[in-house]
Chains A and B, each alone.
Chain A
Amino acid sequence: MNIIETMIYPILYPDTIIGVVAVILVKIALVLGVTMLHVAYATYFERKVIGHMQVRMGPMRVGYHGLLQPIADGIKLFFKEDLIPAAADRTVFQLAPIVMLFAAMSSLAVIPFFDGFIIADINVGLLYLLAMSSLGAYGLVMAGWASNSKYSFLGGLRSSSQIISYEIAVGLSLVGVMIMSSSLNPKEIVLAQQQHWYGMYLFPQFLGYFIFMVGAFAETNRTPFDLPEAETELVAGYFVEYSGMRFSLFFVAEYVGMIVMSAIAVTCFWGGWSIPPIFIKVIPPLAAVPGIIWFVLKIYIHVFLFYWVRATLPRYRYDHLMALGWKVLIPLALLNIVVTAIIKFMN
C-alpha cells in the first residue's frame, strides 16, 4: 500500500476499524480546533463586552480594534518562564492544569453540534458531562493543595466545597429534562424537544433552567461565584502560584468550561441545533439555516450572559454561597423533579 492509498483508505472503507478511528480523529481535531479558536476569541469578546459596559474600549492596540490581542496574549504566555515554587509538590502541581483542561475538553465529545455531528453518540451522554464537570474540581483542589501556599490552599478548599455543592443542584436541575425526554442522550434530548411546538424545554422547565444556569456560574467559578479565585480576597486563589503556559491552561479550561456549560444549557433547554417548529411555520425560510448556526448563536447568547453578569454583580460571601446552594437551589430542584414527574405521570 502506498501513501496515497493509506490516506484515502478510511474514505474508501469507512466501516472498517481504521476508517472509524480515522473519522473520529478528524472530528476530534475539528472540534478541538474550532473550540480553541472560539476560546481565544471568547477572551477578546469578554474584554470588549465588559469594556463597553464599563465605559471603556477594551483591547484596541493589537490589530484592528485589538483583533489580534488573543494571539498576542497566547504568544506572551507561551514564552513566559514556567515557575514551580520550591515547596510545591512538583508532580501534582504540573498535573493540575492538565486535569482541568482534560476534564473541560473531553466534555465536548458528547455535545451534538448539529444534526448528525457528535463525536461520541453515547446514551449516557448527560451523565458523562456531569462526571467530567466533577473531574474538573480535582484540578482545582490539586492546584490549590500542591502549590503549598496558603492563599491557593484557601482557594482550593473553597472551590472543592463550592463545586461539590453546586454540582448536586446542577445534576438535579437536569433530571426534569431527563424525565421529559426519557433519555440521557443529548441528541435524543434535542430531538425530543422538537416534538413540541415550542421546541425548547426552557418553557416547561424554566425552574430547572434557572437552577442550571446559577449552578453553571458556580461550576465555572464565574462572578458572582468566583470565590475560589476572588482576586480581591485571595489574590488569584488556587492558581496564584502558577505562571506562563500552566497559568493560561487554567484560563483555557475556564473558558472551555463556560462554552461546555452553555452547550449543555443549549442542548437541554434551548433545543440544541434546532429552532422551535413554530418559528419555521411562521417563517419557512428559517428551515434552510444550518443547525450549527443556531447552535453557535445560542451558545454565544449564554456566553454573553456570563459576561453581562460579571460586569453587573458583586461577589457572594462563602457562607451565603453555601446557603444559596443547599437551602435554595437543591430544594427547588427537587421540587422541579417532583412536579415534572407528576405531570409526566398524569399524561
Chain B
Amino acid sequence: MATAQKKLKKELTINLGPQHPSTHGVLRLVLDLDGETVVKCTPHVGYLHRGTEKLGENSTYLSAMPLMDRLDYVSSMTNDVAYCLAVERLFGIMAPERAQYIRTIVSEMTRISSHILWLGTHALDIGAMTVFLYSFREREWILDLFEMLCGARLTVSYPRIGGVRNDVSQEFIDSLYKFTAEFPARILEYETLIDQNRIWLQRTKGIGVISAEEAINWGLSGPTLRGSGVTYDIRKHFPYDAYDKVDFDVPVGQHGDVYDRYRCRMEEMRQSIRIIRQCLEKLPRGPVMAPDAPKLTLPAKEKVLADMESMIHHFVLITKGPMTGQSGEVYSAIEAPKGELGIYFVSDGTGKPYRMRLRSPSFVHVSALPRLSEGALVADVIANIGSVDVVLGECDR
C-alpha cells in the first residue's frame, strides 16, 4: 500500500447551533469533543448581522433610534438611553432633570427584565424548567408597565435625544411602585427553587472560572466581570443620568464562576428595585425634553402647526437631521444589563454621523467563551453560555 494510513482524528466535532435551544439566538459553537470533554471551542458569530453601524451612518441622528432597539432586543430601553446620551454628549446638551430620573427608572426596569429573562433561560438550560415560567410572569409585568408608559413593549424607542418622549403618568408611577413592593418577594421565589439546590450548586460552582485579572484582560464587563470580584460599574465610576443622585451597592462575586455571576445578577435586581424606589421618591418636576436645543430636539406638534420657526426646525430635523455644524468625536458608554455598551461617534457637522461604532458587551463575552469552556464538559458549555448572558442581536449587530 502506497498511501500512508490516514491518522484518525480522535475528537468528535459537533456543531452547537446556530439552531439550538440553548445558544440564546443564533450563536454557533463548533466543539471538538473528546468523549464529553470539550477540547476546542470555536464561536462563529454573524448570523444576525444587519449592518447596524452602517445603517446608523446612513440615517440621521434622530432616525437611527429604532436600530438601537434591535441591538439587545431584550433591553431596548438601555440601548436607546446609551444612544441618546452619546448624541447628547457629542453635541453638548443635557436632558432636563426629570427626564434623567425617568431614564434611570426605565434603565433599571430594563435591567430587571433583562436579568429575569437571563435567569429564566439560564435555569432552563441547566434543566430547572419552572424558574423559566416564574420569571416570565414578572417579565410580562414589566413589559405591561412599558406598554403603559409608551405604548410599546419590546422595541420601545422611548428616550429621545435631549429627554424622553413623554412624561410619566401618575398611574404608571403607582403601578411601578406596586411592582417594586412585590418584586423582592418574587426574587425569593426564584431563589427558593435553585439558590441552595444541590444539583444547581454542583452545576454552577467552580464552573467557567475566570480570575479578576483575566476577566479584565478579556474585556468582560457588567455582571460577568463583577462575578470575578472587580467592582467596575459605569453607573458608579462614570455616572450618567441620575445615578449619582441615588444610593446603591455594586454586588461583586469572589470566585468568578457561574454561581458567582448568578449571585451578582440576583443582587443587582434587588439594587435595581432600590434605585427605582429612590428615583420615584425624588422624581423632580419640570419638562422632559431639553427646551434649549431646537436644532436637536423635535419641537412640540402644536408649535409646528402654529409657529413658522418650529415648522422649519421640524422640517430640517426630519429631512436632513440635526444640522448643528459641530464636528468632533465622542465615546460614551453606559452600564447596560449585559455589560458596557459603548457608542463611538465621529461627527462631520452634517445630520448623519460620519462614523458610528458600537462596543457591545455580548460580542466580547462570546469571544471569552472558548476560554471558559475548553477543558470542561458539554453541559458546562451550556452553563457558560447562559452565565455570560449574550444576546446575538447585539453581538452580531
A interface, CB within 8 angstroms of B: 50, 53-56, 150-151, 153-154, 158, 223-224, 226-227, 230-235, 310-320
Are A313 and B377 also in contact (CB < 8 A) when A232-B22, A235-B21 are? no
Q: Are B130 and A53 in contact (CB under 8 A)?
A: yes
* Nearest Cβ on chain A to B383's Cβ, whole angstroms: 9
Q: Are A317 and B197 in contact (CB under 8 A)?
A: no
Q: Are B129 and A230 in contact (CB under 8 A)?
A: no
| Ranked 10 nearest A-B pairs via Cβ | A315-B127, A54-B133, A232-B22, A314-B128, A314-B127, A317-B379, A232-B125, A314-B126, A150-B14, A314-B199
Q: Are B21 and A318 in contact (CB under 8 A)?
A: no
Q: Are B127 and A312 in contact (CB under 8 A)?
A: no
Q: Are A224 and B137 in contact (CB under 8 A)?
A: no
Which residue in A158, A311, A319 is a CB contact (below 8 Å) of B130? A311
Kindly report which residue of chain A lies nearest to residue B133, judged by CB atoms: A54
* Nearest Cβ on chain A to B369's Cβ, whole angstroms: 15
Asked if B312 is at the interface of the complex by the 8 Å CB criterion, the answer is no
Which residue in B127, B197, B377, B380 is a CB contact (below 8 Å) of A232? B127
Q: Are A54 and B127 in contact (CB under 8 A)?
A: no
Bound Cα distance A68, B247 (Å):
55
Q: Are A313 and B14 in contact (CB under 8 A)?
A: no
Asked if B203 is at the interface of the complex by the 8 Å CB criterion, the answer is yes
Besides A311-B129, A319-B377, 8 new A-B residue pairs in contact (Cβ under 8 A), listed by A number: A231-B21, A313-B127, A313-B197, A315-B127, A315-B199, A315-B379, A317-B203, A318-B378
Which residue in B14, B15, B194 is a CB contact (below 8 Å) of A154? B14
Q: Are A313 and B128 in contact (CB under 8 A)?
A: yes
| Chain B residues numbered 126-143 whose CB sits less than 8 Å from any CB in chain A | 126-130, 133-134, 137
Q: Are A56 and B127 in contact (CB under 8 A)?
A: no
Bound Cα distance A311, B194 (Å):
12
* Nearest Cβ on chain B to A329's Cβ, whole angstroms: 15
Q: Are A232 and B134 in contact (CB under 8 A)?
A: no
Are A233 and B382 also in contact (CB < 8 A) when A312-B193, A314-B194, A319-B377 are? yes
Which residue in A50, A53, A230, A320 is a CB contact (below 8 Å) of B202? A320
Bound Cα distance A311, B129 (Å):
6
* Nearest Cβ on chain A to B191's Cβ, whole angstroms: 13
* Nearest Cβ on chain B to A6's Cβ, whole angstroms: 54
Are A318 and B379 also in contact (CB < 8 A) when A150-B14, A233-B22, A310-B129 are? yes
